[in-house]
Amino acid sequence: MENQEVMVVYSWTANEGKSEELKAIYTEVTEQMNANEPGALKVQCYFDETSSRLILLDVFADAGAVGFHLGTTAAGHFENLLQIATPGEFLFCGNVPDEMKQAATGMGLNATFAPAVFGFERN
């Protein structure tokens, strides 16, 4: 069976003095995803102190899980994030249906959609 996972890599750059607030929001986002989104398989956050940039890696079971996340947890925090940080490019890696592409673009995300072409995974 073809791998249906969708990986989303993206970043937010905190406004001056807002790095801790940005990290706090994403601590909450991560906790909510863990508790309420069984289709969220992995969430990893990285922070570059020199640029105040939070870099995120989310792995979802499939596009439906991405859609659920965008409509629930993400939607609940998006406006607050826009008050304290600037979104970077959102890379959606995997098979994403057109409706979801339109939804991401409609949110104002600078989104790139790239289906898988080749690779390998070790267990």
Q: What is the mean pLDDT of the chain?
A: 94
pLDDT tens across 53-95, in order? Answer: 999 999 999 999 999 999 999 999 999 999 999 999 999 999 9
Domain extent at residue 82 = 6-114
Domain presence at residue 77: yes
CATH number at residue 96: 3.30.70.100
| Nearest partner of 11 among 81, 103, 61, 76, judged by Cα | 81
Asked whether residue 1 carries a pLDDT value surpassing 60, the answer given is no
Domain presence at residue 100: yes
Q: What is the pLDDT of residue 84?
A: 98
Domain presence at residue 57: yes
Domain presence at residue 17: yes
Q: What is the DSSP letter of 48?
A: E
Domain presence at residue 121: no
Domain presence at residue 122: no
Rounded to 5 degrees, φ, ψ at 95 are: -85, 115
Q: Which residues are registered as beta bridge partners of 87? A: 12
In the chain, how many domains are there?
Answer: 1
Domain presence at residue 71: yes
Q: Which residues are registered as beta bridge partners of 43? A: 58
